Each structure stands twice: as C-alpha cells, then as structure tokens.
Amino acid sequence: MRTFTPSSRLARGALVALAGALSAVPIAFGNPAEAQAPEQSPQSAHGTVTITPTRDIACPIPDGSEFIDSWGTGRSGGRRHKGVDMASDRGTPIVAAQTGAINFKRSRLGGNAAWLTTSLGNKFYYAHLDRFEGDSRDVREGEVIGYVGSTGNAQGPHLHFEVHFEGQVSNPYPATFAACVQPQIDAALKAQLAIPEQGSTAAAVIAQRAIDIEIDIDIDIDAF
C-alpha cells in the first residue's frame, strides 16, 4: 500500500497551527463520519427534508497515490489542466467519490473515462482508466468503478480526476487532499497524543511533537 504524499513541512505546519488553536480549548476526538455529515434543513410542513450538497468525498484511489496541485497548468493545444493527476501503479482500484450514477465512455483524449453524477448536483470525471469495473450503473460511495491506467492522451499510469461541485468545475486538490492525505495526518497526530507527557497540557504536547513528527512523503512527480 503506497503512502500518500504531503510534504513533512506541510504536516508539521498543520500540527503546529492545530496546537495553537487548541491551546484555549479542550481536545476531543469524535467520529469523523459524524463530524462531516451533511447538514439537513428543518422539516417542512409536508415532512420532507432537503440534504445540503456536500463537498466531502471518498479518496478516489484508497490504496495510495501521489499527486500535486496542478490546477490551471498548461496542456497541449492551449488547454488548461482542470483536474488533479493521481499517479499510482497500473491496475490499482479506483472508487466512486460519492454515491451516484456512473456512466462509462471512451474518447481520444480521456481514453477509458467515466462521469459520476450524484443526486446532490455534483459530478466527477475520471480519465485514463486501464479498464472499467462492470457496466454503467448506480454505485455507492467507495465502490470500485475501474483501475488505474494510461489510456488516451496520458504519460504513465495515473488517474485524471475532476470535480464539478453544484455544476461548477473547480480545483479538486483541496477535496482530494482532505480525503486522501488529511486522515493520515490526523492519525499521526492522534498517535502522538496517545501517551501525553507528564505535566504538559495537551496543546503543549502537540506543539512539541509537531516539531519532531515526520510524515515521510514525496510529492516529486511529473505533472502529466
């Protein structure tokens, strides 16, 4: 299983910032699923509840990948990059970012590609798959939909992943980082807090150990 790759400087910076924020508040670790659950509007007179669109996604390549923020970088033909390129071994499983309907297609540019459309108005585009898993269908978040490849206009096996939240294409890096990398940072932080130093406040422990903690990540990959 490949390790996700934020820089150790970024990880330490995030931990130090968290330490400062926690210096005046108690620390509590809750259920991440509960913390990220989409809010619901009040119940109407007819008893219907509308779920607010969410930008929380499942990591598209849960078994591990390497990626950088390449949003807007130049591409052939004067195009601008509208996704994030997630490099991984050929054949690594790719999953649905949210629950919705997956529609597989093939094109010269995207190769084996797919559009995932959700009932919340979000769309996700996957390109360069080696092959599909099954046929076009309804899928659940986290369900395998295909495998990493290099079909179409691609150099080396990777997934080109786009997000279209509420109908607008946007930089997928923040949502992808939150889904694929942040959990590792959180887990490392929680492990550091498992045995607090005697006589230190939790915030002080975080600040001290954030300086020493090393999350060995290498994001030096080509922008495909």
Q: What is the mean pLDDT of residues 45-51?
A: 50
CATH architecture of the region 76-171:
Distorted Sandwich (2.70)
- What pLDDT is stored for residue 54 in this prediction? 82
Q: Given a cut of 60, is residue 66 above it in pLDDT? A: yes
Cα 5 from Cα 94, distance rounded (Å)? 18
Token pair, residue 183, equals 């959990």
pLDDT for the residue numbered 166: 84
Q: Check if the beta carbon of residue 132 is closer than 8 Å to that of residue 154.
A: no
Question: Long-range contacts made by residues 99-108, C-beta under 8 angstroms, separation at least 24?
Answer: 99/139, 99/140, 99/141, 100/138, 100/139, 101/136, 101/137, 101/138, 101/139, 102/136, 102/137, 102/138, 102/139, 102/145, 103/136, 104/132, 104/135, 104/136, 104/146, 107/152, 108/152, 108/153
Specify the pLDDT at position 198.
Answer: 57
Compute φ and ψ for 123, nearest 5 degrees. Answer: -130, 150
Render pLDDT for 188-207 as a digit per residue (tens, 0 to 9).
888 877 655 555 565 565 55
Query: pLDDT-derived band of residue 31, with 50, 70 and 90 as boundaries?
Result: very low
| pLDDT, averaged across the chain | 75
| Segment 83-100, tens digit of pLDDT | 899 999 999 999 999 999
SS3 32: helix
Given a cut of 80, whether residue 47 has pLDDT beyond it is no
Collect all residues with Cβ–Cβ distance below 8 Å to 51 and sequence separation of at least 6.
38, 40, 120
CA Rg value for the chain: 20
Indicate the range of 21-25, 156-160, 198-202 predicted with least confidence: 21-25
Q: Residue ranges of the domains in the chain?
A: 76-171
pLDDT band at 51 (very low <50, low <70, confident <90, very high): low
